[in-house]
A and B are shown apart, each in its own frame.
Chain A
Amino acid sequence: GAGVSQSPRYKVTKRGQDVALRCDPISGHVSLYWYRQALGQGPEFLTYFNYEAQQDKSGLPNDRFSAERPEGSISTLTIQRTEQRDSAMYRCASSLAGGSTQYFGPGTRLTVL
């Protein structure tokens, strides 16, 4: 079946603009995660959803970052008033349930000029 998909794959934006990154999980996966990966580093956790409920947002760096998953499927990560330090690869992962193996999408590479 289809894997996790993310869009856009690449996003270039100017400082101060808002961006929305989309994640479409594997069908039937109730758990969804967002991670951020800087170049040369491992991914870092941002937030976690179980169905539509955001269970953990402790990894979101500040209040410019928010995420939603209103119908328990597709999720959107929004970054408001982007800054250059937000430039990174943003990865989404999904799993059958919490504690199951997480499968990653291809990521969205965000560049803030």
Chain B
Amino acid sequence: AQTVTQSQPEMSVQEAETVTLSCTYDTSENNYYLFWYKQPPSRQMILVIRQEAYKQQNATENRFSVNFQKAAKSFSLKISDSQLGDTAMYFCAFMTLGDSSYKLIFGSGTRLLVRP
């Protein structure tokens, strides 16, 4: 069974600094996608970034970038120049393309607090 593990329940960072959130996953599949979703206090689920497993280049979206280590099954999120609006719960998620339902499997989340 595929699993996603986020080992940091809570993290804190000073505004304008950089923080890295960890995520590891377990799968025997070779073709899959990885995602980071953000859930602010409003409890919306907002896509932050997506990585295709076949791509060696790490995905970036403005201040957000990932460190994808396929052999280690690791997918960390780096937030640069942290802003107060980054305060949220962050979920790592996995989707296998070998699964006909394309369902997302989520980790338990990391609560990030950005301090002014």
Q: Which chain A residues have a beta carbon within 8 Å of chain B's beta carbons? A: 31, 33, 35, 40-45, 48, 55-56, 58-59, 89, 91, 93, 95, 98-99, 101-104, 106-107
Answer whether A48 and B102 are a contact pair too, CB < 8 Å, given A43-B45, A103-B47: yes
Complex: how many Å from CA A101 to CA B100? 15
B103 in contact with A59 (CB, 8 Å): yes
**Number of residues on chain B facing chain A (CB within 8 A):** 24
Answer whether A42 and B35 are a contact pair too, CB < 8 Å, given A56-B101, A89-B43: no
Return chain A residues, CB-CB under 8 Å to B47: 101-103
B101 in contact with A42 (CB, 8 Å): no
Return chain B residues, CB-CB under 8 Å to A89: 43
- Interface residue from B44, B50, B109 paired with A101 (Cβ < 8 Å): B50
- Residues in B14-50 with C-beta less than 8 Å from chain A: 33, 35, 37, 43-47, 50
B83 interfacial by beta-carbon distance below 8 Å: no
Min CB distance, A44 to chain B, in Å?
A: 7
Complex: how many Å from CA A44 to CA B109? 12
A42 in contact with B97 (CB, 8 Å): no
B45 in contact with A56 (CB, 8 Å): no
A107 in contact with B108 (CB, 8 Å): no
- Interface residue from A44, A48, A104 paired with B45 (Cβ < 8 Å): A104
B97 in contact with A99 (CB, 8 Å): yes
Q: Which of B33, B43, B102, B108 has the most CB of A within 10 A?
A: B102
